Structure 1
Amino acid sequence: MFERFTDRAREVVRRARDEAGDAPVDTPHLLLAIVADPDALATRLLAQAGVPADDLRARIARQLDRTAVLGEADAAALRQIGIDLAAIEARLDESFGPGALRRPTPPPRRRGWWRRRQPNHLFAPRSRKTLELALREALHLRHRHIGTEHLLLGLLREGDGTAAQVLREAGVDLTDLRGRVEEAVRAVT
């Protein structure tokens, strides 16, 4: 599938792997990597939707800090019953010091031939789904390539990951953004 990726889309995947570090690449890492290129169509469309790259980076960092200990599903369940994680984190920081809730970062692991990650472990299930959906979006648009705009469409179509949640929290209507992306892609081709 990666042979269809444009140079920019390949760079997004490489950056997403860098963002993830030793963890599997997930949807927020893909979104961070997309907005890292200010000249990409996807980044420009996000900015036009009222979400500048710096704002997205800050929102994703906060979201990743929250879900690092609890997990994405736990954080979502707590939000649904009205528990404000930010208030809890603030109280814990007051009582136990800044960053009390965060997991300590493990030391970097050495990778030899015996410790290399298998390809299916490089990507979390939602990001694998996003990449698959990006391919489907490109095929649907009758494009022979997969660009950053297709990756953004894949993130929007997946719709349940942390990246989509961050976009919703930023006030983005995912359906409207999807329409803007499709319109821009058709105008370019």
Structure 2
Amino acid sequence: MFERFNEDARQTVVQAQEEARTFGHDYIGTEHLLLALLRRTSSVGGRILVRHGLDHDAAGDMIARLLAGTGQDALDAKALETIGIDLGAVREKVEAAFGPGALDRGPRPRRERPWRFGGHIPFTARAKKVLELSLREALSLKHGYISDGHILLGLMREGQGLAARVLADAGLDFEVLRQDVRTELG
């Protein structure tokens, strides 16, 4: 699939690795792809996002807040709540059985991270899905290549990742954004 990526799409993937390194992450998620698009304001995806009122710093701040302690936990609790699991009740039962703080996370064990020295950082399943969907978007537009605009379309089509959450929280209308990208891609 990567052989179909044009230079802007390739640079977006390279920049996503840099964004992950900046956050100290050992993965490339949808949020890193979004930040990479926003970093490249001369390309289709970045230009359109900025035109719709989202910039790299604002998106980075939103991502940092969402990933901070309560941000990710709140997302997890909400997801569990939608399938009928009350996280508070589970916590109470576990702490009653194993003692207070039994579910508190300790420090993460330090792992070797070869990517700190220039190695490749792996994509999350959701980020891989976005790249797959970017190919589908390119094919649906009858393009023989994948551009960063197609990656933006893939982010919106995937719709569940942190990048989609940031776009929605920023008040961007996916349909309007999608139409602008398609128009610019031709």
Distance 1:76 1:67 in 2: 14
Q: Distance in 2 between matches of 1:28 and 1:54?
A: 13
- Structure 1 unmatched runs, 5+: 80-100
Give the alignment's TM-score, normalised by structure 1: 0.72
CA contact (8 A) 1:27 1:163 kept: yes
Match of 1:70 among 48, 51, 73: 73
Q: Distance in 2 between matches of 1:54 and 1:103?
A: 30
Distance change in 2, residues 1:18/1:185 (3 Å): same
Conservation of the 8 A alpha-carbon contact between 2:66 and 2:72: no
The equivalent residue for 1:177 is 177
Which of residues 50, 60, 81 is equivalent to 2:53? Answer: 50
8 Å CA contact 1:130–1:154 kept in 2: the answer is: yes
SS in 2 for 1:43: helix
Whole-Å Cα distance in 1 between the matches of residues 11 and 73 of structure 2? 30
Identity of aligned pairs, percent? Answer: 40
TM-score norm. by structure 2 comes to 0.73
Query: Residue type matched to 1:159 in 2?
Result: G
Farther-moved stretch of structure 1 (49-58 vs 147-156)? 49-58
Report the CA distance between 1:10 and its aligned residue.
1.0
CA RMSD, Structure 1 to Structure 2 (Å): 3.1
Compute the displacement of 1:60 (Å).
1.7
Structure whose alpha-carbon radius of gyration is higher: 2
Gaps in structure 2 of 5+ consecutive residues: 83-103
Count of residues in correspondence between the two structures: 160
Distance in 2 of aligned mates of 1:140 and 1:166? 26
Q: What pairs up with 1:15-164 in 2 under 5 angstroms?
A: 15-21=15-21, 22-66=25-69, 70=73, 72-74=75-77, 76=79, 109=112, 111=114, 122-164=122-164
Residue in structure 1 matched with residue 101 of structure 2 by the alignment: none
Does structure 2 retain, via aligned residues, the 8 Å contact 1:134–1:151? yes
**Residue 122 of structure 1, CA deviation:** 1.1
CA distance in 1, matches of 2:158, 2:151: 10
SS in 2 for 1:143: coil
Deviation at 1:108, TM superposition (A): 6.9
Q: What do the CA deviations read for 1:94-116 (whole angstroms, capped 9, x no partner)?
A: xxxxxxx998677573539xxx8
* Higher alpha-carbon deviation: 137-146 or 58-67: 58-67
- How has the CA–CA distance of structure 1 residues 66 and 30 changed in structure 2, closer, same or farther, with 3 Å as cutoff? farther
